[in-house]
Structure 1
């Protein structure tokens, strides 16, 4: 399920590192709606089975801030889990017309709109990133991270994303997931590296259009819940461009 949450800003300026303000907005909404779910989601470093992105029409990006002339922020949310979808819909509806701090600005939720999401039935589709894809390689012993982008090293990018997916979803899909991920075919169409700020870190990521060939449940999983490390922080949200025949 997808939601489009339309918000108004008090003034035109938001920080370039706006994701942490969006996370604060999410936490405010969930804490007000359901204390138990708030602690379940945010007290520990739990997996987030949802993703989101932000759309700022005609925004002007500076070094430290973003100017939004129409003072409108559209928050797009997506998840494949019905319970999580209802929780977020109710939580943001509960914030309607309430001013919430947003960095050096304030945001007011104007409307919460459910958006229909297509079901992919075939084994190939073209996607476009709505938020950057992060392929994060994590060393549990040293606690260090390495980030791979498609233009720097396509093979490492894909293998890391497959490993991220296996780690996140293996408990849901079992042993067959590894085999299905190994068979997944990724074909970049028009992609490039980008660098995004997440809290105090600058992270290498990838944006653009690409084709995936694989089992339909995987394609739908990526469309509904994102295909990226840190999806709960607003990365890896995908839009479906078109479903295509499997053969080139």
Structure 2
């Protein structure tokens, strides 16, 4: 399920760490529309099986502040879980036309929510572009520290595939491991970017790439994102 959420702002300035503000809008709506689902999603360290990206009109980055050409933005939301998608659609409808805090310098109003039609992937080789950067995170449970890898680093593909297996084994079963290992990532035009998220500087990958693999996996990545921290606005891709 894919949503396009058009929003208005009261100011043309937003914080560089804006993804957390988008999450707060979703949480505000979900807490009112379905308190039980809100507690399930945000009451602990639950894996978020959705992704989103934010379109900013001609942004100018100035340290901790981003200045926009217009006082608006568009949130693109995607999930492979139809039930979860309906819950977030209802959550955003619940706050539609209401003025919500977005930062100390701004407020946001959800104006329009559209369900976007999706075309299923039937090929085993597809070119994609990122709508939000792909995060490859290696989490050390003992030290509780994270290390982030971008596309050109040697460990990137192995860690990404390991993370994909942990994310997808419950949904698709143990056999998914072989299909994930068989995935081929081919760079077309990828660059490194560093994004601020929850005051953390995250190294990630942005651009165009080709992916060869089972169509059910390629469909899942388009529908629900790829990589880590998807629920914080990373890993959203579309076909090109």
TM-score by length of 2: 0.98
Structure 1 segments unaligned to the other structure (5+ residues): 242-248
Give the length in aligned residue pairs: 239
In structure 2, what is the Cα distance between the partners aligned to 1:226 and 1:137?
Answer: 18
In structure 1, what is the Cα distance between the partners aligned to 2:199 and 2:57?
Answer: 26
In structure 2, what is the Cα distance between the partners aligned to 1:142 and 1:61?
Answer: 33
Secondary structure of the structure 2 residue equivalent to 1:219: helix
Secondary structure of the structure 1 residue equivalent to 2:155: helix
1:194 aligned partner: 193
1:106 aligned partner: 107
Deviation at 1:69, TM superposition (A): 2.1
Deviation at 1:49, TM superposition (A): 0.6
2:134 aligned partner: 133
2:203 aligned partner: 204
* 2:161 counterpart of 1:162: yes
Q: RMSD between aligned alpha carbons?
A: 0.8
* 2:218 counterpart of 1:225: no
CA displacement, residues 90-131 of structure 1 (integer Å, 9 cap, x when unaligned): 111121110000012100011001111121001010010000
2:65 aligned partner: 65
1:245 aligned partner: none
Residues 1-20 of structure 1 aligned to structure 2 (within 5 Å): 1-20=1-20
Residues 235-246 of structure 1 aligned to structure 2 (within 5 Å): 235-241=234-240
Residues 177-188 of structure 1 aligned to structure 2 (within 5 Å): 177-188=176-187
Deviation at 1:141, TM superposition (A): 1.5
CA displacement, residues 47-94 of structure 1 (integer Å, 9 cap, x when unaligned): 111000100111212111111121111011000111011111111112
In structure 1, what is the Cα distance between the partners aligned to 2:75 and 2:64?
Answer: 21
CA displacement, residues 158-192 of structure 1 (integer Å, 9 cap, x when unaligned): 11111111111111111111100111000010001
